[in-house]
Amino acid sequence: MLTALAIRDVVLIEALDLEFASGLGALTGETGAGKSILLDSLGLALGARADSGLVRQGASQSVVTASFDLPADHAVASLLAENGLDAEPGEPLVVRRIVKADGGSRAFVNDQPASAALLRELGSYLVEIHGQHDDRGLLNPRGHRALLDAFGRISTDAAASAHRAWREAETRLESAREDLENAARDREWLDHAVAELSAFAAEPGEEAELAAERAAMQKGARLSDDLEAVSGHLEGSEGGLAQLRQAARRLDRIAAEHPALAEALAALDRAVIEAAEAEDRLGEASRALAFDPARLEAVETRLFDLRALARKHRVDPDQLAALTEELAQRLALIDAGGEGIAALEAEARAARAAYEEEAATLSAARQMAAVRLDAAVKAELAPLKLDAARFRTIVEPLAEPQWSGTGRDRVEFEISTNPGAPFAPLVKIASGGELSRFILALKVALAEEGGAATMIFDEIDRGVGGAVASAIGERLARLSARAQILVVTHSPQVAARADRHWLIAKSHDGLVTRTGVHALDAVERREEIARMLSGAEVTDEARAQARRLLEAA
């Protein structure tokens, strides 16, 4: 709700600080005192068009600051987050607008720069101003369906789920049709590609295996002459190993003759062992590096063909197996004809039927709720001097492209203000006072479902008095139990119902005219209501009547 409004240098207001509370607040004053300036100032803070004409003469700029207390789960919190603005939980929301005399303007939310468009969007959640030129809130047909659903306690969850399932089924069907059309255009290419890939039968990791085998055989080819020469030096009866063994046998016969001979024999024995191990290792290396020229040619051919095929299809060689499967599936889809499409079509039809069933249930519930809402509004019209008027809630089907998760209904509130006159949208009403009373009747009937936390009614009592004014006051007081209500009024019956009362008045110091707002105490309030009853000269009878009105409230 609105908790404070600070105005600086707006038209006739030099400096004004107002504090507000919950309940019903009345703003009164003589015609021309400046009530419209107050509303214009609040509208400015809520994103209305900046007009340099609002800047007080002689001032360089106008500044309006409005503070709001909101629950932590209020929709404004997510809106601020979406726009990258900080908001501390439990702290007031402060919006400020500055308009310069040269026409420039700036906007702030919690002291962070913001756009006027964001202020307007915030304002739609924070305050409803109902008056002759208001086109928000209940006057906007886009919100009527949600209001009717709230009134009828109608949930759209099932329809939303069914609509989502239907759209997903349609998306799958369209995707499959597109895939089938694309695949059909490529049938000849697919036949050739699948045959070629299947015949080649590439496997993941094959390239690395072939490359490693090829490298090993190439190395063997390069080292084969050296390995053969080294083996020739070691092997055979004339090889180095045989010579070492013969020397060791002869030395063994004479080793006992001298210690040095024994040591020489031991060294020869070790050399024989090492030479034998070297011979074994040479054999192992020869076997590992052995190659078959035919095998080398086959490996190279396979490797080069594998890489060429991968380049042809613009994939990594390890992806050829997966590509084969993918293209085969596309070919199978064509070969299967319309079987897959037929199944998806059946699924989409079933999903559509389920949605239509949920939408029909919603429509029936809305028709029933519309009848109850029309009766509830009708009961409010006569006490508000709108007994000649008729109200109806239109619930009619939308074209299929407009169907959504909220159903397939267009909902709009319409009225006829005179007998025989055609029904028309609320916004077409010419009389501001009449419009405000209609809004009040709707608000009471709807039990304030979906409204802003603060509502302002501008001269809702215009052109009425007596019992009608009393009825207006009683309904405003009833609404104020659910939302903060501020009313600009000329009616003592309405003002007497208020929990708080402010007087708007002009003052002159001989040079400058100023508009001020004063919060009235009990005595001042009775005097103001008496003035509203009697006019310029306040009589004792008017004071007595004012007292009776206040006591009755």
pLDDT band per the 50, 70, 90 thresholds, residue 496: very high
Rounded average pLDDT over 386-407? 92
pLDDT band per the 50, 70, 90 thresholds, residue 395: very high
Q: Helix, strand or coil for residue 410?
A: strand
Structure tokens at 397: 């089907």
Highest mean pLDDT among 88-102, 152-166, 525-539: 152-166
HSE (CB half, 13 Å, CA atoms) of 93? 24
Q: Where are the alpha helices (DSSP H) in 74-156?
A: 75-82, 116-126, 144-151
Structure tokens at 434: 């009449």
**25 vs 520: CA distance, rounded Å:** 11
- Is the confidence at residue 87, as pLDDT, over 80? no
Structure tokens at 527: 């005097």
Domain ranges of the chain: 187-335
- Is the confidence at residue 311, as pLDDT, over 90? yes
**56 vs 11: CA distance, rounded Å:** 4
Instruction: Give the pLDDT confidence of 90-143 residue by residue, as tens digits.
Output: 788 999 999 999 888 999 999 899 998 899 888 888 888 876 545 455 777 888
What mean pLDDT value characterizes the chain? 85
In one-letter notation, the amino acid at residue 183 is: A
Rounded average pLDDT over 388-396? 92
In one-letter notation, the amino acid at residue 312 is: K
Question: What does the pLDDT read at residue 524?
Answer: 92
Rounded average pLDDT over 266-282? 79
Question: What does the pLDDT read at residue 133?
Answer: 47
Rounded average pLDDT over 295-318? 90
**77 vs 552: CA distance, rounded Å:** 41
Question: What does the pLDDT read at residue 268?
Answer: 80
**160 vs 172: CA distance, rounded Å:** 18
pLDDT band per the 50, 70, 90 thresholds, residue 348: very high
Q: Which residue has the higher pLDDT, 249 or 314?
A: 314
Tokens 């052995």 correspond to what residue? Answer: 290
* Residue 353 CA from chain centroid, whole number: 29
Question: What does the pLDDT read at residue 451?
Answer: 60
**165 vs 496: CA distance, rounded Å:** 56
Question: What does the pLDDT read at residue 40?
Answer: 86
**94 vs 70: CA distance, rounded Å:** 11
Structure tokens at 293: 């020229």
The closest of 33, 50, 32, 30 to 41, measured between CA atoms, is 50
Highest mean pLDDT among 198-202, 238-242, 451-455, 467-471: 198-202
CB-CB contact of 391 with 414 (8 Å): yes
- Is the confidence at residue 522, as pLDDT, over 70? yes
Question: What does the pLDDT read at residue 216?
Answer: 78
Least confident of 318-327, 427-436, 479-488: 427-436
Structure tokens at 86: 């900080």
Instruction: Give the pLDDT confidence of 206-242 residue by residue, as tens digits.
Output: 999 999 888 877 776 666 656 666 666 667 666 666 7
Question: What does the pLDDT read at residue 145?
Answer: 92
Q: Which residue has the higher pLDDT, 271 or 154?
A: 154
- Is the confidence at residue 449, as pLDDT, over 60? no
Q: What percent of the chain has pLDDT over 90?
A: 37
Q: What percent of the chain has pLDDT over 70?
A: 90
Question: What does the pLDDT read at residue 479?
Answer: 86
**10 vs 2: CA distance, rounded Å:** 19
Question: What does the pLDDT read at residue 68?
Answer: 93
Structure tokens at 14: 């030099």
Q: Helix, strand or coil for residue 487?
A: strand
**1 vs 96: CA distance, rounded Å:** 16
The closest of 401, 210, 398 to 296, measured between CA atoms, is 210
The closest of 139, 113, 109, 111 to 123, measured between CA atoms, is 109
Question: What does the pLDDT read at residue 169?
Answer: 95
Task: Please say whether the dihedral angle defined by the alpha carbons of residues 306, 311, 313 and 314, taken in this order, is positive or negative.
Answer: positive
Question: What does the pLDDT read at residue 482?
Answer: 84
Neighbours of 313 (CB within 10 A): 16
Instruction: Give the pLDDT confidence of 10-49 residue by residue, as tens digits.
Output: 988 899 999 999 999 999 988 777 788 888 899 899 988 8
Q: Which residue has the higher pLDDT, 93 or 89?
A: 93
